[in-house]
Structure 1
Amino acid sequence: MSALLPFYALSVVILFLKMLGISCYQGYHRISRLTFQNAEDARFVGRQASPEELPQVTRAARAWANDLENIPLFFVLGGLCVVLDTATSTSLALFCVFTAARIAHTLCYLLQWQPWRTLAYAIALACLLGMAGMVVSRALAVL
């Protein structure tokens, strides 16, 4: 077993929990205000459907969409790092920094903190590029 696998697995679970947290954040705001756009959800709590989504829910949905553009790339590139047994210390650092940067990105997105959100995004992107470079380097070395 690759020494990277446990760290990769922990990163995946932490990122899953982070994304679950965004869903809970949306649910909290909808339920606490009993405001739902879907008619069946509104009827369930005895309300009319809201013509507009709550701003907090909309913002969280944009953070979620950004995750869907970035986190699957980590799953693939990180998994390839594990399979190709890339440099352990560098890979571990990239896994940890990527995970922390994506958490920071979400918090900055929800709290409307700029330029910190962009910085967190850029750090996570740099980690993905680093992983991609390691995957290419290792793949070429074993050819």
Structure 2
Amino acid sequence: MLALIFLVLLLLLVQVFLPGHYLTQQVGPQAQMGPRDNLPEPSLQLARARRALGNLQETLPIFLVFAVLAIVLGEQGWVSLAGAMLYLLGRAGHLVCYMAALSPWRSISFTVALGGLVLMALPLLPHIWA
């Protein structure tokens, strides 16, 4: 589980750097390093990268809570690990599909990641009543 947490955080790191990369492409390094007060409207790729990052940030806390609970409660069985892997693959697919404007694959990837979260939650449910 710990390895999957690190891989998801690596994906987050990639997504955090993407908007900066596209902004530098759009306005150049000088404007990127400056105060960024008068930037033009974002390019298509920059806007997509920002939206994809925002979307990841909506579900990442849920993933992290479920992953840490699985470790603490000793629920790192195949269901939890499969859920974490599905989350990682779904989120990586979501980024690729979002950046390439691949519909409906973007939504399908999001649903795969959401299914991974559900799988991660299942082994934790009995602990609510314990």
Partner of 1:82: 71
Q: Quick check: 1:33 aligned with 2:26?
A: yes
* Greater gyration radius: 1
Gaps of 5+ in 1: 1-7
What is the CA deviation profile of residues 81-126 of structure 1, one whole-angstrom value per residue up to 9, with x for unaligned ones?
1111125111111111111111111111111111111111111111
Give yes or no for contact 1:94–1:130 (8 Å, CA) kept in 2. Answer: yes
Provide the TM-score with structure 2 as the length reference: 0.84
CA distance in 2, matches of 1:58, 1:30: 9
Q: 1:85–1:48: structure 2 CA closer, same or farther, 3 Å change rule?
A: closer
Partner of 1:3: none
CA distance in 1, matches of 2:87, 2:32: 41
What is the CA deviation profile of residues 22-52 of structure 1, one whole-angstrom value per residue up to 9, with x for unaligned ones?
232222222223259xxxx62857x993331
CA distance in 2, matches of 1:44, 1:124: 35
Partner SS, residue 85 of structure 1: coil
User: What is the aligned counterpart of 1:67 among 56, 62, 67?
Assistant: 56
User: What is the aligned counterpart of 1:23 among 12, 16, 40?
Assistant: 16
User: What is the aligned counterpart of 1:54 among 31, 38, 43?
Assistant: 43
Structure 1 stretches of 4+ with a deviation exceeding 3 A read: none
Provide the TM-score with structure 1 as the length reference: 0.78
CA distance in 2, matches of 1:25, 1:105: 14
CA distance in 2, matches of 1:64, 1:78: 20
CA distance in 2, matches of 1:118, 1:111: 13
Gaps of 5+ in 2: none
Give yes or no for contact 2:23–2:32 (8 Å, CA) kept in 1. Answer: no
